[in-house]
């Protein structure tokens, strides 16, 4: 019987410098070109190609143009529904955010491991999703204070608050407001990391079971593999839902800044 | 019980939270479907609220996962 291999599901999230840039530094900070950065570049390039291929102005859209138009229309509807008046000027930001996260999630699921390449899901790192969340949160703060000045603080006292609760509600509202960037970034990164760990653990089951002989190979390996196929489909769904939820919550928070409840 | 074993037991207990969040997510979609079948005309307009509820319920399950990961890899 073969020695069971050790399953290391966390190795896929390791950040490694590429192309010999380990020592590259500016002002004491290491700026090595990592696999995370490489996949960000790949995501941007794929997104660019997708958009340039479809940004024609044909009266009767072809397939590609229809695909791009359905995405922009989807986000435009999202902002119309959730921000309402004055929401259209946020479409570029929310569209970029949505497409970037969506493409990153989907590219990270590419089964190119069979060619010996390793896709890296950079949305599975809190540094990345946290920065995206802070970006959204800063827009909320800047727009809120720009438009309403100090009146923006009335966000913490919803209309119709009973007088005897006036000491408690602002505290709760303040905490829930300040938690937003964390929950926004945390949700995306944990959903991505959990799905990828699950897939790696199941893949380890398949490999170890088939290495252990015919009976465990058939009894454990094949059911695990079937489960992997199902979970992969679920992961594609999760990749879409998480990108959508990120865009949706961002537009909701911007609604608060634009209209104060 | 040594500290390592206690950590792993704690991580296992945190998995209960993920299971309870599954109840929450199921409840969100179940209730939505139930009322969407009663009034299909109003269902499409509520899709945003559906996903807000889903995101809130899911977040708490993901927090349980974070607790487990912190216990295993950080603590």
- Sorted by where each begins, the domain ranges of chain A are 11-259
> Strand A25-26 vs strand A29-30: parallel, antiparallel, or unpaired?
antiparallel
Provide block-wise average pLDDT over 10 residues at a time, chain A (261 residues): 63 77 73 83 90 79 84 87 83 91 89 78 88 92 87 80 81 88 90 87 85 82 89 90 90 86 68
| Residue B70 at interface with chain A, using a CB cutoff of 8 Å | no
Give the CA angle between residues A250, A252, A256 to the nearest 5°: 115
**Nearest Cα residue in chain B from A246:** B55
Give the CA angle between residues A44, A45, A51 to the nearest 5°: 85
**Nearest Cα residue in chain B from A189:** B62
> Using CB atoms, which residue from A183, A193, A245 is nearest to B51?
A245
Q: Residue A184's closest CA among A123, A233, A99, A121?
A: A123
**Nearest Cα residue in chain A from B57:** A187
Whole-angstrom CA distances from A33 to A22, A24, A211 are 8, 8, 37
What CA–CA distance (Å, rounded) separates A172 from A174?
5
> Using CB atoms, which residue from A190, A194, A248 is nearest to B51?
A248
Instruction: Give the DSSP H/E element, type plus range, for residue A25.
Output: strand A25-26
**Nearest Cα residue in chain B from A183:** B59
What CA–CA distance (Å, rounded) separates A191 from B58?
9
**Is A69 exposed, middle or buried, given 0-12, 13-18 or 19+ CB atoms closer than 10 A?**
middle
Inter-chain CB proximity B59 and A241 less than 8 Å: no
Structure tokens at B18: 């993920």
Q: Where are the domains of chain B?
A: 3-74
* B12–chain A nearest CA distance, Å: 15
Q: What's the DSSP call for residue A160?
A: T
A34 DSSP β-pair partners = A17
pLDDT 10s digits, B15-72? 898 889 889 999 999 999 999 999 888 888 888 888 888 888 888 888 888 888 888 8
What CA–CA distance (Å, rounded) separates A114 from B48?
38
- Give pLDDT, residue A3: 55
Chain A residues touching B69 at Cβ < 8 A: 193
Q: Which of these CATH numbers, 1.10.1740.10, 1.20.20.10, 2.60.120.260, 3.30.360.10, describes B3-74? A: 1.20.20.10
Chain B residues touching A252 at Cβ < 8 A: 52
- Give pLDDT, residue A4: 57
| Residue B62 at interface with chain A, using a CB cutoff of 8 Å | yes
Q: Whole-model pTM?
A: 0.85
**Is A48 exposed, middle or buried, given 0-12, 13-18 or 19+ CB atoms closer than 10 A?**
exposed
A26 DSSP β-pair partners = A29
Chain B residues touching A78 at Cβ < 8 A: 48
- Give pLDDT, residue B34: 92
- Give pLDDT, residue B27: 93
The gap from C-alpha A209 to its chain's centroid, in whole angstroms, comes to 33
Interface confidence (ipTM) of the complex: 0.78
pLDDT 10s digits, A215-252? 888 888 888 889 999 989 988 998 998 999 999 999 98
Inter-chain CB proximity B55 and A82 less than 8 Å: no
> Using CB atoms, which residue from B48, B55, B63 is nearest to A81?
B48
- Per-residue burial over A154-167, b if 16 or more Cβ lie within 10 Å, else e, is ebbeeeeeeeeeee
Q: Residue A4's closest CA among A207, A214, A239?
A: A207
């Amino acid at each position: 019987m073969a020695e069971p291999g050790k399953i290391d599901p966390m190795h896929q999230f390791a950040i490694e410098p590429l192309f010999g840039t380990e020592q590259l530094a500016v002002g004491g900070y290491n700026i090595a070109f990592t696999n995370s950065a490489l996949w960000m570049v790949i995501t941007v390039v794929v997104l660019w190609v997708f958009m340039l291929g479809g940004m024609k102005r044909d009266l009767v859209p072809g397939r590609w143009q229809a695909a791009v138009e359905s995405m922009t229309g989807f986000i435009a509807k999202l902002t119309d529904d959730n921000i309402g008046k004055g929401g259209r000027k946020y479409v570029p930001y929310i569209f970029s955010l949505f497409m970037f996260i969506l493409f990153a999630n989907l590219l990270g699921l590419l089964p190119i491991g069979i060619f010996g390449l390793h896709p890296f899901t950079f949305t599975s790192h809190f540094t990345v999703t946290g920065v995206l969340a802070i970006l959204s949160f800063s827009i909320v703060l800047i727009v809120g204070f720009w438009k309403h000045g100090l009146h923006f603080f009335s966000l913490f006292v919803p209309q119709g608050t009973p007088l005897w609760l006036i000491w408690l509600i602002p505290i709760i509202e303040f905490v829930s407001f300040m938690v937003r960037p964390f929950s926004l970034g945390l949700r995306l990164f944990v959903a991505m990391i959990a799905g990828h760990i699950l897939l790696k653990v199941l893949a380890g089951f398949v490999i170890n079971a088939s290495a252990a002989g015919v009976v465990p190979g058939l009894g454990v390996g094949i059911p695990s593999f079937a489960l992997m196929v199902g979970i992969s489909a679920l992961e594609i769904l999760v990749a879409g839902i998480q990108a959508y939820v990120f865009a949706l919550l961002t537009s909701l928070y911007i609604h608060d800044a634009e209209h104060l409840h | 019980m040594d500290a390592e074993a206690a950590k792993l037991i704690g991580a296992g207990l945190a998995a209960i939270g993920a299971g309870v969040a599954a109840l929450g997510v199921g409840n969100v979609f179940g209730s939505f479907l139930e009322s969407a079948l009663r009034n299909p005309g109003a269902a499409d307009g509520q899709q945003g609220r559906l996903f807000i509820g889903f995101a809130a319920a899911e977040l708490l399950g993901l927090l349980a996962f974070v607790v487990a990961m912190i216990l295993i890899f950080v603590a």
